[in-house]
Each structure stands twice: as structure tokens, then as C-alpha cells.
Amino acid sequence: MRPVKLALLGCGTVGAEVVRLLHDQAADLTARIGAPLELVGVAVRRPGRARGDLPVDPGLFTTDALGLVKRDDVDVVIEVVGGIEPARTWLTEALRGGTSVVTANKALLAEDGAALHDAAAEGNADLYYEASVAGAIPLLRPLRESLHGDRVTRVTGIVNGTTNFILSSMDATGAGFQEALDEATELGYAEADPTADVEGFDAAAKAAILASLAFHTRVTAADVFREGMTAVTAGDVASAKEMGCTIKLLCIAERGPDSTGRESVSVRVHPAMIPRTHPLAGVGDAFNAVFVEAEAAGQLMFYGRGAGGTPTASAVLGDIVAAARNRLTGSRAPSESAYADLPIRPIGEALTRYHISLDVADRQGVLAAVAGVFAKHEVSIATVRQSGRDADATLVIVTHQAPDSHLAATVAELATLEIVRSIASVLRVEGGN
């Protein structure tokens, strides 16, 4: 059998582990595929960089990624560089030219996945991207294949390891956000610039990919409502604990009717309180977990390591095997399924619950005035707790479910009341009612 030729773009955290697995498991991979895999080039930014004991011929390194992609003897391009450009140019070129692609690039898929799918269709090539969401966890293949006979209604997940580590640490130790972030940086979970993680951009990209697959609709990162977790305080975490809850950065993708009754999709990423009995509440450390609800299958839970070189490389290798087999047999990966083409429902129509902490003056009529604002915006109050007194009272109000726009209007009006000194925090509450 002729070898299946691979070009690797990127040899950093993930790429180096892809090289190691290709080397260490060469015999098994050959047996499973029916032909050996041959690495014919590795594109990097700094070819002279020391790469430890990486089992790769130094002569394979190049800075000419485009040249590698254009080689007509390459069967599969593996992209583990990241970012939008030049990755988009490389992958579009490869796919259009009939070369299959395996990528971990969630940012690119969430921004312009449609263009990549179109290029794959044009070139009759495969586009695999299991590693782009939740690292090692087999999640996209189940959505893309196993659940294609079912109707997925909701996907709820913890898809960012860094923020889950931070929130789990705040919950366990009572630490504040900055202290927990410093710990995550020290342990190598958070990057030097953690913006993409803590502001929810990374989770929003993953949410877009999940929603596209789950609902057969093109969803981009721009369609996802996003709120980061930098405003979550130690006080919020303590308050959640008192309610039997914990705080997680959730990605929530739902299918359902919009305000006019039309079937639509809602996708959001934000911190939320969830009951400690919820299956996602026990997901600690930097782990990821995704809870999928489908009409026939019911509830499914996927759990594991969502980041790190070796776990992510495991997902990349699985895709390489699939793409290599297809090359040998002349078959194709499942093509994009976007036939449903559902409209995106705005965040204002999402049904959720709020946990609101208000610093108020403790005097007659304050509770009635506050309750009046909730009633005016058709928001039903579930519980009210007061702590402190006189000038230092705090009211903690948890609502029943209501459209997010009603809840947001309630908070906006509360902020204008003379009796409300400040709105200490507003958090959504998910799971249970």
C-alpha cells in the first residue's frame, strides 16, 4: 500500500504531541488504516527553535506553509497553528485542491466555517475538526454522525478549561477572581493573555461550532451572545453556595420557537449559577463536560479533558485516521449539514432566571418599591433574602423564569431607584426552577 502523506502546519503544544503520537503509535496506526502514515513536512514560524527530543527529521521543518499545502503529493493537511489568517488561506487552498484537512482551529471554524465547508465540497475533500471543541472528548463526531437520526433540542456545556479551573478554585477556597487567575497562570492553565478565555471568546467559538452541528444551521461566533466571567466575585460564589448552587461559565445552545412561534436557535455563553445537583456542577479543575438533550436519545453527558497537548492530539489523531482511511477507500467525511437554516433568536428572548444582589436602604416601603419594579416588567420573584440593616442592607432576589429582556429591563429600572444604593451583582441561574 502507498503511504498516506501528511503535512503538519504548526508544531507547538498540540502539534508536537501529534508528531509524538504519529511516531509512537506508527505500527498500530498502519494496521488500523491499512497503510503507513508519512509526515512529509512541518511548517512552523521559527524552524531553528529547539524542540527537545521530538521524534522528527529536522529537515522536514519549513516556514513555507503555503508551499507545503500546495504540494500535490500531500493527502492530508493537519492545521494546529490557530487564528484566522493565514490559516484560512492555507486550508481553503488545500480543500479546493482536493487535499483533506484536519484542524483544531475553533476560531477559524466559528468565524468562517461555511467557507471551509464550501471549499471542501468544491474540492471533494474531507474537513475534520474534532479537536476544536472540548479537546479529547469525542463530541463532534456524535453530533455529526451518531445523533443524525435524532433531533437535538439543547446543548449545555462547560467548554473552557481555564475558566472552569478558576471558578472551581473560587468555589473550593473562597478566593477572588484575580487570585484564582494567578493560580491558573502559575499552573500553566491560563495563557499569558487570558482574555479569550475569561471574556468568553473561546467558549463562544466552541458554542457556535456545537450549535451549527446540533441544529443543522450555520451559526457563527457573531451569533453567540457572550458575557465573560471577570465580574464574578467571591461574594457571588458565597451567595451561590448559600442557595445550594455553584457558578460555571456555560455555553447554552437551544432550539425552540421565537416570540412569533417560528422555530429558531439561541446560543449564549455567560456565567450562571447551577444547582449543585446538576450534572455539570461536579465538573471541576480544568475539565470540560457537555450535556446534550435529544428527543429520542434523552440526556447524554460527555466528559473529559478539554485542553492540553496530548489530549487534544488524541482527537487530532482520530481525525487523521478517518481522513487517511477515506483517502484509501475513496470515501468522504459527512459533508456539512446546514439544511435547517434556522434563524438566530436574540438574547432578549432567551428564558432564564436572575439572581440579583441590591444594596438598599433598610426602611419602610423599600421591599414594596423593589417588588413593584419586578411586577411592572412581568418578572415573578421566587425568593427574597435580606442581610444587614439600616444603611447597610443587602437584598438578594432570585426570580422565576422570564425572557432575558424583561429581566434586563427590571435591573435597568432598579438602578434608577433612589432607594437602591448599588446593584452589587446580577447572575443568571440555570437548571431547575
Using the minimum distance from each CB to ligand NDP, give the nearer residue, 12 or 318: 12
C-alpha cell at 20: 509524538
73 secondary structure, DSSP code? T
Q: How does strand 37-43 pair with strand 4-9?
A: parallel
Using the minimum distance from each CB to ligand NDP, give the nearer residue, 65 or 402: 65
What does the per-residue mask of binding to ligand HSE show for 199-218, with x meaning CB under 6 A? ---x----------------
Residue carrying C-alpha cell 483517502: 327
> According to CB under 6 A, which one of 19, 44, 290, 414 is a site residue for ligand NDP?
44
> What residue is closest to ligand NDP based on CB?
12
- Which does residue 32 bind out of ligand HSE, ligand NDP, none, counting CB within 5 to 8 angstroms by kind? none
Kindly report the CA angle at 422 between 367 and 267, in degrees rounded to 5?
95
CB of 312 to ligand NDP, least distance (A): 4
The rounded distance, in Å, linking the Cα atoms of 140 and 161 is 17
Other beta carbons within 10 Å of 75:
25
The rounded distance, in Å, linking the Cα atoms of 360 and 420 is 5
161 binds ligand HSE (CB under 6 A): yes
Residue carrying C-alpha cell 474531507: 126
Per-residue CA distances from 314 to 201, 296, 332 (Å): 24, 30, 21
The rounded distance, in Å, linking the Cα atoms of 217 and 221 is 13
Q: Which stretch binds ligand NDP (CB under 6 A): 12-20, 319-327, 349-357, 404-412?
A: 12-20
> According to CB under 6 A, which one of 156, 160, 399, 410 is a site residue for ligand HSE?
160
The rounded distance, in Å, linking the Cα atoms of 240 and 170 is 11
CB 215 within 8 Å of CB 253? yes
C-alpha cell at 94: 488545500
Residue carrying C-alpha cell 524542540: 51
Using the minimum distance from each CB to ligand NDP, give the nearer residue, 49 or 363: 49
358 binds ligand HSE (CB under 6 A): no
Q: Which stretch binds ligand HSE (CB under 6 A): 14-22, 158-166, 339-347, 403-411?
A: 158-166
CB of 251 to ligand HSE, least distance (A): 11
Outline where DSSP puts E strands in 306-350: none
Buried b (16+ CB within 10 A) or exposed e, 196-233: bbbbbbbbbbbbbbbbbbbbbbbbbbebbbbbbbbebb
Q: Which stretch binds ligand NDP (CB under 6 A): 39-47, 177-185, 253-261, 344-352?
A: 39-47
CB 93 within 8 Å of CB 66? yes
C-alpha cell at 22: 504519529
Residue 81 half-sphere exposure toward CB, CA atoms < 13 A:
25
The rounded distance, in Å, linking the Cα atoms of 52 and 395 is 57
- Which does residue 12 bind out of ligand HSE, ligand NDP, none, counting CB within 5 to 8 angstroms by kind? ligand NDP
> According to CB under 6 A, which one of 5, 88, 106, 206 is a site residue for ligand NDP?
106
> According to CB under 6 A, which one of 240, 307, 316, 393 is a site residue for ligand HSE?
307
CB of 43 to ligand NDP, least distance (A): 5
78 binds ligand NDP (CB under 6 A): no
105 binds ligand NDP (CB under 6 A): yes
311 binds ligand HSE (CB under 6 A): no
> According to CB under 6 A, which one of 92, 105, 156, 162 is a site residue for ligand HSE?
162
Q: Which residue in 5, 70, 106, 206 is the catalytic one? A: 206
> According to CB under 6 A, which one of 111, 171, 197, 254 is a site residue for ligand HSE?
197
Using the minimum distance from each CB to ligand HSE, give the nearer residue, 271 or 306: 306
Phi-psi domain of 149 (left: phi exceeds 0; alpha: psi -120 through 50; beta: other)? alpha
Q: Residue 206 catalytic?
A: yes
Using the minimum distance from each CB to ligand NDP, give the nearer residue, 104 or 180: 104
**Strand partners of residue 425:** 357
> According to CB under 6 A, which one of 156, 312, 326, 357 is a site residue for ligand NDP?
312
In the three-class reduction of DSSP (H, G, I as helix; E, B as strand; rest coil), residue 105 is classed as coil
- Which does residue 15 bind out of ligand NDP, ligand HSE, none, counting CB within 5 to 8 angstroms by kind? ligand NDP
Which residue numbers are catalytic?
Answer: 206
Q: Which residues bind ligand NDP (CB under 6 A)?
A: 10-15, 43-46, 49, 65, 80-82, 86, 104-106, 131, 135, 307-308, 312
Interface residue list for ligand HSE (CB under 6 A):
135, 160-162, 197, 202, 306-307
